[in-house]
Amino acid sequence: MTSEASKPLKSSPPSAAHPDAGLASGAGAPNGDRASTAPKAGSKKKKKSLSELQDELRALSRKPSSQAARPAPFDMRKILVRGGAVIAVVWVVALIVRHWSGYVAAGVLTVGAIAAVIWLKRHMAKTMALGSILRSADDEQGRKAALERIDSEFKKNDTQAVIAKAQLQMQDDPRAALATLEKVNLERELPPVAGQVRAMRAMIHLSLGEVQPARSLVDKLELGKQQEPSTRVLFAAVASEAWARTGDGRKAVDTMELFNPDADDVGELRAQLYRSRAFAYAAVNDSKGVSRSLKKLADINPHLLGMFVGQKKVHPLLEREAKNLVMRMGVAPRKVVRQRM
């Protein structure tokens, strides 16, 4: 199975909303240090109680994925070539017709195209500047400095800056990130930007165990219209988890099985997909599917199992399987690794 379906995906009509504590934290969790399951020779390994493991793992399941905060890259050369070709055709037609209205139309189109190119270049420059700021925020102090730079260097109503700010806040204060994103007027934004904000808000709600608000957000995502592969995968994963946790398990399973988590082009979204699969299979009481998904997550990083231990509104089957796997592996988190943009 390829990483994308040949048929476009459709989001379900709005119904009960519902996410919970995890989508975001699933993709955002690191591939960092793994706890060794093999004790050293001659030493006794002290097993931690389930409550201790829950406390340690819970902290690792708070951070939503940063992938939603990444804007789809522009291919400027392709845009210029196509735009130039259209303008050239218009001017050729105008010269053939030799009427003032044709010249006016061609002139207006040319001016509009130049203005669009200028806007795109500024947009790309801003995106690069924000990316540089985010890459420097690899610890608490760095995030604090990055937030100060965003507040001082960008306008408060700059949607790109708002998204970047929320991404930083997700790691330490999901509620603050949610409040920041809620300031964006989704009705006035372009559909791709509005979808990006909805997906981020849904992930945060899911990470907090608030599945109903997440469901209402994902039902407005246009999954089948996403041209960027990573965005399409992320939206499908977020929506599937929300559907699974609000009663549409079969729809979630069918959607997740359109994507291959082990495909080369999935990249860092692999954990996100397996997380969503775990919730989807749990919703249809498929214990084998749940077990496979959890083992895959543990292969990526055993700490990711903390997304299902002691969290709000996690399916009993899923939580039980995660607890059993945690206890068998004797996972003892040693370090929280932050994911960079």
Domains annotated for the chain, with CATH where assigned, are 23-34+49-329 (1.25.40)
Q: How many CB atoms lie within 10 A of CB 145?
A: 14
pTM over 0.85: no
For 264-290, the pLDDT digits (tens) are: 888 889 999 999 999 999 999 999 999
Average pLDDT over every residue of 164-191: 91
- Specify the higher pLDDT residue, 72 or 191: 191
Q: What is the pLDDT at residue 108?
A: 83
Average pLDDT, rounded, for the chain: 76
The arithmetic mean of pLDDT across residues 10-29, rounded, is 38
Res 216 pLDDT > 60? yes
